[in-house]
A = this chain, B = another copy of it.
Amino acid sequence: MRATVHIMLKTGVLDPQGKAIGHALEGLGFDGVGEVRQGKVIELEVPDGTDEARVKDMCEKLLANPVIEDYKIEIAG
């Protein structure tokens, strides 16, 4: 089965990478683009029967930095 983890910086945490993308879009002529934020998505092949708690454990220990990042877990059969 497959687990997908979406990791984004928490609201209020400065995102220089997102800012850079926003400026570059403006430079290319895409006007009116407001806030841009960049995050990560991690897709994992996990053993059958893996529950959300186990993936959460992976996030807390390795995948995300819970001090500055929020994460969202999706598990698909």
- Interface set of A (CB-CB < 8 Å, partner B): 6, 8, 18, 21-22, 24-25, 28, 30-47, 54, 57-58, 61-63
Contacts and interface: CB of A to CB of B under 8 A. Distances in A.
A34 B46 contact: yes
Nearest to A1: B34
A44 B8 CA distance: 13
A51 B43 CA distance: 28
A47 B21 CA distance: 16
A25 to B, nearest CB: 6
Contacts of A33: 44-47
Given A21-B63, A62-B25, A40 B38 contact: yes
